[in-house]
Amino acid sequence: MGALGYSSSKPTLPKIIESADGRPHEMDVVAAMRNGEVLGRQTVLKSDHCPGCHNLNLPERVDGAPNFREIPGFSVYGVANPTVDGIRAVIQRVSTSKGNRPILWHNMREEPVIYIHGKPFVLREVERPYKNMLEYTGIGRDRVERMEARLKEDILREAERYDGAIMVIHETDNGEIFDAWENVNNEAVLTPLEVYKCLDSEGLPIKYARVPITDGKAPKSSDFDTVAFNVAAACKDAALVFNCQVLQLISLLGKNSILVI
């Protein structure tokens, strides 16, 4: 995969100690041997939460849900990509504060996301771990959800090769990348759709919709049409929650969504 226009400089991926079971101790080695349909060669799974994703100037903080905010006077909320516990915390904050009202949750994330032990991870090129992959620009809901389902399969299949573990990367507070092994099984790896289906099956008052929007770009008119349709079909008193990568789209989309409430 190639992301045109990105710098070709390669960040340092510190080594981890080689385990007794013979797992590779370098991400470069693991990435070079990957052969999944989505988790392919020279790709890595990077933790979606990084130091730069938190806006510390916002008046309210919800654990696990970076950049949570409310549009004053309306039941419209925004949040960056949350953990599973963060989703629960947002449901608790929004639903209970409004008399247990139902929630219509729009996931505006365009690129494939996978949850490992309740935390979101995204695909990155091993040489460009800080950059979104351009291959997903303009992707539709059906395709991104198929890719997430295939990504889960790729992870579990690769884990069989490494005694039930998958190597991922994280980012430190000073922006350095380090790798780590995560033990996984079918219950530990979930697509966003699976996460929200689980929450719904638990009886939590949440309905889920995926409307992929390119990060850093204004939503298309068809995106507003989709949101308007979803809102019109929802319960009259439903609260609206929108999540994307770092909440760059929420102000624009949320304010326009008020027009269809």
Q: Do 131 and 160 lie in a common domain?
A: yes
Q: In terms of domains, do 76 and 200 share one? A: yes
- Return the closest-CA partner of residue 152 out of 106, 104, 115, 202: 115
Same domain, 37 and 70: no
pTM: 0.86
Q: Is residue 102 part of a domain?
A: yes
Mean pLDDT is highest, among 21-25, 132-136, 140-144, for 140-144
Distance CA 158, CA 161 (A): 5
What pLDDT score was predicted for residue 247? 53
Express as a percent the part of the chain with pLDDT over 70: 81
Rg of the chain over Cα atoms, rounded to whole angstroms, equals 19
| Each residue's pLDDT tens digit, 52-108 | 666 677 878 899 999 998 888 888 999 999 999 999 999 999 987 666 789 999 999
The answer on pLDDT for 5 being more than 60 is: no
Looking at the fold, whether 250 and 197 belong to one and the same domain comes out as yes
Domain-terminating residue out of 168, 189, 210: 189
90 and 159 both lie in a single domain? no
User: Are 81 and 93 in the same domain?
Assistant: yes
Same domain, 229 and 118: no
Q: In terms of domains, do 195 and 185 share one?
A: no
22 domain-assigned: no
The continuous run of DSSP H or E covering 209 comes out as strand 206-210
Domain boundary, last residue among 189, 208, 237 = 189
- Residue 181 maps to a domain: yes
* Lowest mean pLDDT, pick from 2-6, 36-40, 182-186: 2-6
Give me the mean pLDDT over the 240-259 stretch.
Answer: 61
Judge whether residue 150 has pLDDT over 80.
Answer: yes
pLDDT tier, 19 (very low <50, low <70, confident <90, very high otherwise): low
Q: Which domain holds residue 205?
A: 63-110+191-260
Q: What is the structure's pLDDT at 74?
A: 84
Average pLDDT over residues 154-163: 96
CATH number, domain of 71, equals 3.90.190.10
Judged against a pLDDT cut of 70, whether residue 231 lies above it is answered with yes
Please give the pLDDT value at position 253: 52
Strand-pair partners of 164: none
CA-angle at 93, arms to 92 and 98, nearest 5°: 100
Amino acid letter at 228?
A: A
Integer Cα distance of 252 and 174 in angstroms: 30
- How would you class 123 by CB atoms within 10 Å of its CB: exposed for 0-12, middle for 13-18, buried for 19 or more? buried
Residue 145 sits in the same domain as residue 246 = no
Total number of domains in the chain: 2
Q: How far apart are the C-alpha atoms of 204 and 91, rounded to whole Å?
A: 8
Q: Which of 149, 170, 189 is the last residue of a domain?
A: 189
The answer to whether 64 and 83 are in contact (CB under 8 A) is yes
